[in-house]
Amino acid sequence: MTRLITAQEVAEHNTEESVWFIIKGKVYDATKFLDEHPGGAEVMIEQAGLDATIAFNDVGHSADAMEMLNDYYIGDLKKEESFVAPAKTIQPTKPAATSQKKLFLAIPPRVWDIVIPTSIGVCLFFAYKRLIQFQQIK
């Protein structure tokens, strides 16, 4: 007999210790698959406790991936349940460090493609002028 699971019960499994989600009305416990997921555990944890049908389909999983779902199937979503996504708590991010290294890396690479060669050219120009002045003094 197929186990019927409420949306509330799925919503309670929304941490990395217990990752349940819904895909096309079926409930899956993917907790043991977190370390093996090619897209990383974070992607699955984001969908934990939610209806992940759209996210799963948008990625374009292979036929093998869809078949693997059978290994993690635990039951069907109770039909009379209307699923309301629980509010996820968002952890505040730490402010970025303002060290010189961080600021250097924050500048887009295209800027460095212009700045570095230009700086080298300017340095060479002044070095050449200095050399000419030095030779005129002799």
CATH number at residue 21: 3.10.120.10
d(CA 62, CA 17): 26
Banded pLDDT at 102 (limits 50, 70, 90): very low
- pTM check: above 0.75: no
Domain that holds residue 44: 4-77
Residue 82 lies in a domain: no
Strand partners, 4: 76
Express each pLDDT in 50-77 by its tens digit. 999 998 888 888 888 889 999 999 999 9
Express each pLDDT in 11-50 by its tens digit. 999 998 999 999 999 999 999 998 888 888 888 899 999 9
Residue 39 lies in a domain: yes
Q: Are residues 28 and 61 in the same domain?
A: yes
Q: Are residues 8 and 47 in the same domain?
A: yes
CA angle 96, 55, 86 (to 5 degrees): 75
